[in-house]
Amino acid sequence: MGKVYLVGAGPGDPELLTLKAIKVISRADVILYDRLINDKVLEYAKPTCKLVYVGKADGKHTIPQEEINKLLVYYASVYQNVVRLKGGDPFIFGRGGEEALYLSKFKIPYEVVPGVSSVYSVPAYAGIPLTFRGVASSFAVVTGHEATGKEKPVNWEDFKGVDTLVILMGVKNRQKIAKELIRCGRDPEEPVAFVERGTTDSQRVVVSTLKEVSENPPDVEPPAVMVVGQVVRLHNLLKDFLENLKPEGEIHNVEHLRWEK
């Protein structure tokens, strides 16, 4: 009986792989990987490693989850080292938890190798810190995926007091989400950022407001992380700040980045 490694591949930039991920990928006999996995990550696999694509396209599963679970059990009975490679972190919206549960039901040994999640790394590459002293002291991560019968529906009221909202899988429903957030009392002028294909060479940042997204949503393609909150303003400020930064500049004085909420 082999062992299954539930591995996070990070958000896209292969340099955001962890050392542990590289180690288990390079030892793998078989790798089952998702759509958002960069090819460069798979280059760490040994030449004899079997690569199995079990890609999903934003909610639509090419191979149903139940099939993926069964494949994991099957491969663990045939191979020593089975890697289930997922985008970002395996336990954040990747259904990694379900796979772990399934494996434990069949008494198959497994190990979780956490990854760098897109939740904070994608905004970071776009110059958006999720917290900032005096601006945002809390953030929440929410799915923007339309709730189907099985999923626990999102109650946007619950996030009223949260400073920064990070919404994954929210591109399709962006207009509806923005409307909901305004209905729940968030300021329509609150800035919103969409970071498409974050941390990759083709990263694109679109900045808007809740009002604009609710009335006339900008064109955005998945995968994208949607960030709602005043910290989005730092996107430009930090960009200019970093561009103007001279070696002897006042890099400690960031007081001017603060403002009244």
Residues taking part in catalysis: 34, 56, 169
CB 62, min distance to ligand SAH, A: 15
* Peptide bond just before 188 cis, omega within 30 deg: no
String of b and e for 61-82 (b: at least 16 CB within 10 Å)?
eeeeeeebbebbeebbeebebb
Which of 4, 9, 12, 14 is in the footprint of ligand SAH by CB under 6 A? 12
Binding footprint of ligand SAH, residue count (CB under 6 A): 26
Q: Does 87 bind ligand SAH (CB under 6 A)?
A: yes
Of residues 151 and 240, the one with the C-beta less far from ligand SAH: 151
Which of 9, 32, 92, 103 is in the footprint of ligand SAH by CB under 6 A? 92
Which of 123, 127, 198, 229 is in the footprint of ligand SAH by CB under 6 A? 198
Two structure tokens written together for 196: 């498409």
How far apart (Å, rounded) are the C-alpha atoms in residues 140 and 130? 9
For ligand SAH, what does the binding mask look like between residues 13 and 42, x meaning CB under 6 A?
A: -----------------------x------
157-186 residues near ligand SAH, rule: CB under 6 A: 168-169
Interface residues toward ligand SAH, by CB under 6 A: 11-12, 36, 58, 86-89, 92-94, 117-119, 122, 168-169, 195, 197-200, 222-225
